[in-house]
Every structure is written in structure tokens, then in C-alpha cells.
């Protein structure tokens, strides 16, 4: 039997809790990748402008901000298991409202409800995975997103198929509610406590040795002692020490990593919302084919997540993140110059190879710089991401109304370059704020 030491690379263990939490990412991935490409179709159905349709992104932002305020409190009071299960029910209700709504006010309201549930289920699951996996959290978070986008890959294909046979986009999006309820049922069958408990309050009890807690633990205390970052040495391969001997929060690095999250979510949502229109405008493809090409983006995102997850345990995630923004720009260039659906599909796939690494690495870096305050850090990420979702699709839609979708898409590489710069700046700030401990 081989004995592993703290110096060995961390390993990801896919236990029942981990696989069940992956269901949260499948739920949200299916919704995003089936509904976002359907927005141009919804705009035509409701006879509204691109800017008005882009308000669905703003509705997502409203829901995200609401979820950011609710989630930490709900976790402290009810525990992560109850929050994930409850959020699944909220998602199902929002899906039913969205897929039966025939007025813009109704669909916008439905997306607010969906965004509250979706952001709550992802936030609770992300921090649960981070606490459960300790030093291997970057791999767990990245793989979870990979599983979500992998099954979400079927979303745009389902929409394209439903549109092609005359059913419209709604049946494909309605599948979200089924997946959400199935996840809620499965999570309720898991035991309370550990990573599914009440977050930092419960972890503090573990550290202090309070009666009734599991001293072996799977939370942050077990991952590295009081204040240990859940992703260990995630930024530069060395998680230095803060005041008092434990790793301290890297404040400036956290701010830069928040910028990367904003950039990541902005480029992904701007692209998934309006790539369908771009492909139709530039290639003359029909609605079903144009919508289905979005599957190329999701396929690239899925593939790279299964590569980047294990790689992030050996190579600086901050540098990987900066490189991923560069790949995204290259994919955008292919998409933007495409005049055939097949070339557009290739461009979306290449862009997906960059996009897929953006959010998982960005959030893992942010959580790693939080000194164990994972729920609070995730709440900040939710607010930042919500603002990105609220602004990017609306801005690109408004620009498309003014100058056309093709010209409006120039916004995407500008935001991507900003994200790459922020990733490198965050890595430098991490080195300054968390120097390597003395040997």
C-alpha cells in the first residue's frame, strides 16, 4: 500500500456526494445552452427588438443578485443539502412559467425566478464541492462544469431539432424542469452534514472541536486547518502563509479574479445569446441549423474542461486562464469571418476551447484566495456574474439593433482580452500577498 503525503499531487475522488452535486451543473447547463440560443427565436415569436430580448440577460442578473443575498443566509440556516433541493424546485417552477409564457413580461419574470434557483443551486454546489475536495477542488469544480456543459451540449441540438420539426424551442427548454426535480430528489437522499451542512458555521465548530461534529471532517478544516483555502495552492503552486501562520486572504488577487469571472460570463452569454443571429446573418443558414451550431461552442467547452481540470493540479491555473482567453479570441476571429455554417461551427468550437476554462478556473482562483470564506466569496462571484449577464447580452443586442449583429460582436474580443490581463494581474498580486512559506 502506497502512503500519500501532503507533497503529492491531490487526487479527485468521485464519490456519491460529488456525482449528485454534478446534477446541479447538468440542470443549469441544460437551461443555459437550450434557452440562450433560443432568445433570437423568442424575439421573433414575441415581435420584440434585440435589445428587448436582451433584457432576459438583465432578468438573469436580477435573479443572480437576489440569489447572492439569499444563498449564504439559507446555507447557514438550512444547510447546503436543503438549499440545493429547494433551488431545484424553484428552477422547475420557473421553467414551467417560461415555457408557457406568451408575453415579454411573463418570460422576463420567469427568467428571474429561474436565475434565483439556478444561482442558488450552483453556488451551494460549488462551495460544497470545494469544501468536500480540499486541495483537489479546482479539479472537482472544473469537472462539474464539464459534466454540465457536456450534457448541456444536447440542449442546442434539441432546440434545433424541435424547431426543424415545427415544435418550436419550448419543449427542449422544458427538459430543464425535469432534470432540476430529479436532482432535488437525489440530493435529499444524501445525509446531512459535512460539505452538505451549514458551511462556515459548521466548519468553525469542527475546528474548535465542538461536540457533535466530525473531527475527521470533509470541510475546510480537514483540507488544511483553520483558514485554509479550499483549492490549496491554486494560483501559483504555493499557498503561502498569512498572519498567524495560516494562509490569509489575498485581497487584491481576489479583485482581479472577480474581473476574470465578469469577463468569462460576459463573453459566454453574449455569444450564446446572439451567435444564432450572427450565423444566420453571415451564412444564410435556417433557424434550426443556426441554433444547432451553438452546440459547437458547448462541445469545445466540455472537452477542455476535462483537460484543464487535471492540468490545473500541476500547472498554474492563473496562467491557464490567461491562455484560455487568448484561445477564445482566436475562435471569435474564425466565427466573425465565417461565411458558411461549417466554418462558423469550427469557430464556435475553437472559442469553446477557451470559454470552457474561463469560469471554472476563475471561480477556483477566487475561492482559493478567500482564506476559507468560500460562501462569501461565491456570493461575490454570483453578484459579479449577474452584472455581467445583465449587461453583456443587452449591450450586444442594443448594438446589433444599431449597427448589425456582425459589427456588434467586436465587443466579445475586447472583453476577452480584459479577462486575460486580469488573470495575469491576479497571479502577480497572489505572489505579493501570499509569499511562499519558509522551508
pLDDT tens profile 42-74:
988 999 888 888 888 889 888 888 888 888 888
Distance of CA 227 to the CA centre of its chain: 25
Which of the two residues, 126 and 114, has the higher pLDDT score? 114
Percentage, residues of the chain above pLDDT 90: 28
DSSP calls for 292-352: HTHHHHHHHHHHHHHHHHHHTTTS-HHHHHHHHHHHHHHHHHHHHH--SHHHHHHHHHHHH
pLDDT reading at 29 higher than 80:
yes
Instruction: Tell me the mean pLDDT in the region 18-31.
Output: 91
The contacts of residue 433 (CB under 8 Å, 6+ apart) are: 248, 250, 251, 252, 253
Q: Are 114 and 57 in contact (CB under 8 A)?
A: no
166: left (phi over 0), alpha (psi -120 to 50) or beta: left
Percentage, residues of the chain above pLDDT 70: 81
pLDDT reading at 333 higher than 90:
yes
Range with the lowest mean pLDDT among 36-40, 372-376, 392-396?
372-376
| CA–CA gap between residue 120 and residue 69 (Å, rounded) | 10
Under the banding of pLDDT at 50, 70 and 90, the label for residue 416 is very high
B/e letters for 87-121, b = 16+ CB within 10 Å, e = fewer, are bbebbbbbbebbbebeebeebbbbbbbbbbbbbbb
Under the banding of pLDDT at 50, 70 and 90, the label for residue 199 is low
Q: Which domains does the chain have, with CATH numbers?
A: 16-214+224-433 (1.20.1250.20)
Q: Give the residue among 253, 423, 405 at the shortest CA–CA distance from 354.
A: 423
Is pTM beyond 0.85? Reply is no
Amino acid at each position: 500500500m502506497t502512503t500519500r503525503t501532503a507533497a503529492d499531487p491531490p487526487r479527485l475522488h468521485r464519490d456519491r456526494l460529488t456525482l449528485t452535486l454534478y446534477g446541479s451543473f447538468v440542470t443549469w447547463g441544460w437551461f443555459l445552452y437550450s434557452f440562450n440560443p433560443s432568445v433570437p427565436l423568442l424575439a421573433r415569436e414575441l415581435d420584440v427588438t434585440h435589445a428587448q430580448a436582451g433584457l432576459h440577460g438583465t432578468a438573469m442578473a436580477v435573479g443572480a443578485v437576489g440569489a447572492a443575498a439569499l444563498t449564504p443566509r439559507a446555507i447557514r440556516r438550512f444547510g447546503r443539502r436543503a438549499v440545493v433541493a429547494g433551488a431545484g424546485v424553484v428552477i422547475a417552477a420557473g421553467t414551467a412559467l417560461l415555457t408557457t409564457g406568451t408575453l415579454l413580461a411573463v418570460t422576463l419574470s420567469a427568467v428571474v425566478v429561474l436565475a434565483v434557483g439556478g444561482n442558488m443551486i450552483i453556488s451551494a454546489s460549488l462551495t460544497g464541492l470545494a469544501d468536500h475536495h480540499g486541495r483537489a477542488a479546482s479539479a472537482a469544480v472544473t469537472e462539474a462544469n464539464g459534466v454540465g456543459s457536456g450534457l448541456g451540449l444536447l440542449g442546442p441540438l434539441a432546440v434545433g431539432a424541435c424547431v426543424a420539426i415545427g415544435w418550436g424551442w419550448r419543449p427542449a427548454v422544458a427538459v430543464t424542469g425535469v432534470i432540476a426535480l430529479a436532482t432535488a430528489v437525489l440530493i435529499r437522499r444524501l445525509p446531512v452534514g459535512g460539505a452538505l451542512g451549514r458551511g462556515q458555521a459548521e466548519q468553525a465548530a469542527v475546528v474548535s472541536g465542538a461536540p457533535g461534529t466530525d473531527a475527521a471532517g470533509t470541510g475546510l478544516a480537514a483540507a488544511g486547518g483553520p483558514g485554509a483555502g479550499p483549492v490549496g495552492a491554486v494560483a501559483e503552486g504555493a499557498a503561502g502563509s498569512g498572519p498567524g501562520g495560516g494562509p490569509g486572504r489575498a485581497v487584491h488577487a481576489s479583485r482581479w479574479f472577480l474581473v476574470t469571472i465578469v469577463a468569462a460570463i460576459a463573453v459566454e452569454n453574449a455569444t450564446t445569446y446572439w451567435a444564432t443571429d450572427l450565423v444566420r446573418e453571415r451564412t444564410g443558414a435556417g433557424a434550426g441549423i443556426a441554433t444547432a451550431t451553438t452546440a459547437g461552442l458547448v462541445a469545445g467547452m466540455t472537452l477542455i474542461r476535462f483537460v484543464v481540470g487535471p492540468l490545473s493540479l500541476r500547472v498554474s491555473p492563473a496562467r491557464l486562464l490567461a491562455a484560455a482567453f487568448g484561445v477564445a479570441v482566436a475562435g471569435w476571429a474564425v466565427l466573425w469571418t465565417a461565411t458558411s455554417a461549417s466554418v462558423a461551427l469550427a469557430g464556435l468550437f475553437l472559442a469553446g476551447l477557451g470559454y470552457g476554462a474561463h469560469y471554472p478556473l476563475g471561480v477556483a482562483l477566487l475561492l482559493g484566495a478567500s482564506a476559507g470564506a468560500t460562501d462569501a466569496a461565491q456570493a461575490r462571484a454570483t453578484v459579479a456574474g449577474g452584472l455581467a449577464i445583465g449587461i453583456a447580452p443587452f449591450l450586444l443586442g442594443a448594438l446589433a439593433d444599431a449597427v448589425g449583429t456582425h459589427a456588434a460582436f467586436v465587443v466579445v474580443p475586447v472583453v476577452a482580452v480584459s479577462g486575460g490581463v486580469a488573470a495575469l494581474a491576479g497571479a502577480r498580486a497572489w505572489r505579493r500577498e501570499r509569499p511562499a512559506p519558509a522551508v
